[in-house]
A and B are shown apart, each in its own frame.
Chain A
C-alpha cells in the first residue's frame, strides 16, 4: 500500500514537472492581438506538434513543425477575449496566454432610450444608455466619447458628451416645453443610432369653465384646455363636471373636443358647480337663478 502511494506521488511529481516545463517553454507569441488582425506564433525545437488556440470565443488547431513560425491570417481570431495557445507534442505541452482586444474603431452602437412618450417640461425625464461595439460585435471597453443629442421640432438641442466606462455610457435629458416628436441620437464619429421621443402636453393648467342658461337646463363649457406651457391638451382627455345641490349631486364626464369640453346639466338654483380633469381642479361657480 505504502509502495503504491509512493509510486502515485512520484507520478504526480513528474506530471507537475511536465506542467512547469510547459510553462517555461520556448513558444513566442504576442501578448495582445487586435480582433481580426493577422498574427503569428513562433515555436522552438524540432519535430512535429499540434498548436491549439483556445478560448470561449474561438478555437483553432494547426499541425506545426517545431522551430517554424505559424501564421494566422487576418480574420482568424476576431472574438475579443482571453485565449491560451498550447503547443502539444507526444510527451509535453507548452502554453502561453494572450488577449484578443476589440478593434479600436467603433462601428456599432446599442442605444436604449426611455421613455418613448412623456409629458413636456419634465426634469431628467428622458434617459439614454449606449454600449459601443466594434465591427465584430466586441464590446469596446477602452474609454470612448459618445455624444447624446435631443433635438425638438423647434430646433432646440440638448447635447451631452459622455465617456464610456467598460463600454457603456449614459445620460439624462429634460423634456422640452413644446409638444411634438423629438429625435434622440447617440453618436460616435459617423456612427449613430436614433430614437424617437414623443413629448405630449402635461396636465391641464388653469382649467376654467363658464355656465349659461340654456332653456330649462344649464350649459357648461370650458375654455380651451391647455397645459402650463400653453400646449393644447389632446382631444379625448376627460373633464369632469360636478353639480352639488340641496339633496343631491350630479357628475358628468365629457371628453375634450376641439380643445373644449361641454355638457348640459339640470338647473338647480343654489347649486355649486365645479370642474376637474384628473387630479387638476378648475374653478367653482355658485349658480343662482
Chain B
C-alpha cells in the first residue's frame, strides 16, 4: 500500500515537472558575423521555426515516429534523430523532451543567405520511459548550436548539436 502511494507520489511529482507549460524564450540581439544584413522578419521566422522544431523533436522521440521530424528537420539533423528513434524502438524506450527555457542568439547569416546559425542556452526536461515504465525525469541544460537552411515555406534545422560552453 505504502509502495503504491510512493509510486503515485513520484509520478505526480514527475507529471508536475514534465507538464507542458510553454517555454520561456529570451532572444538576444543578433551578434552577426558575415557581410550580409539579417532582415528582422527573416530572423524572427528562423527563430519561430527553430522553436517549433522542439515540438517536432519532442513528438517524434516520444512516439518513436521519424516522420514527425520531416516538417522541421533536414539533412544531418534529421538523419541523426532518426537513428535515435530506431535505437529507442529497438530498446523499447520512449523519451519525452520538454523545453523549459531558451536563450537564443543568431550568430551567423551566411553571405549567400542560404544558412542561419544560432546558439541556444536551453533548459529542458527529459523523461525516460522503458517498456511503459517511467524510469526517471532529468532537468537538463545545454548550449545548442543550430544551423537552419531555407526550405519551401520555412526554415529547417540542418545541424542540431549540443556543444560545450
Residues of chain A at the chain B interface (Cβ within 8 Å):
7-8, 10-12, 14-16, 18, 22, 32, 50, 52, 54-61, 79-82, 84, 86, 88, 93, 95, 97, 99, 101, 112-114, 124, 127-129, 131, 133, 137-139, 141, 165-168, 170, 172
Contacts and interface: CB of A to CB of B under 8 A. Distances in A.
Chain A CB count within 10 A is highest, among B35, B57, B160, B163, for B163
Given A97-B140, A112-B114, 20 more contacts: A10-B9, A11-B13, A12-B9, A15-B13, A56-B57, A59-B93, A84-B126, A88-B130, A99-B163, A114-B111, A114-B112, A129-B111, A131-B147, A139-B163, A165-B107, A165-B108, A167-B117, A167-B147, A168-B117, A170-B110
Contacts of A166: 107-108, 117, 119, 145, 163
B23 to A, nearest CB: 16
A49 B10 CA distance: 19
13 contacts: A11-B5, A18-B10, A52-B130, A56-B61, A57-B81, A79-B83, A84-B126, A99-B162, A127-B112, A137-B79, A139-B145, A139-B147, A166-B117
A84 B138 contact: yes
A208 to B, nearest CB: 38
Contact of A93 (B8, B136, B140, B163): B136
Interface in B37-55: none
B6 interface: yes
Contacts of A82: 140, 142, 162
Nearest to B113: A114
A137 B145 contact: no
B21 interface: no
A128 B109 CA distance: 12
B155 interface: no
A86 B119 CA distance: 27
Given A58-B87, A141-B145, A12 B135 contact: no
Contact of A170 (B13, B97, B111): B111
B5 A79 contact: no
B76 interface: yes
Nearest to A10: B9
B163 A11 contact: no
**A interface, over-half SS:** strand
B35 A172 contact: yes
Given A59-B91, A112-B115, A114-B112, A15 B130 contact: no
Contacts of A32: 164
Interface string B66-84: 0000000000100111011
B164 A56 contact: no
Contact of B111 (A11, A60, A172): A172
Given A56-B97, A170-B33, A129 B110 contact: yes
Contacts of B138: 84, 86, 95, 97
Interface string B113-143: 0110101000000101010000110101010
Nearest to B112: A114
A86 B128 CA distance: 10
B56 to A, nearest CB: 12
A127 B111 contact: yes
Contact of B9 (A14, A80, A113, A138): A14
B112 to A, nearest CB: 4
Contact of B12 (A12, A112, A127): A12
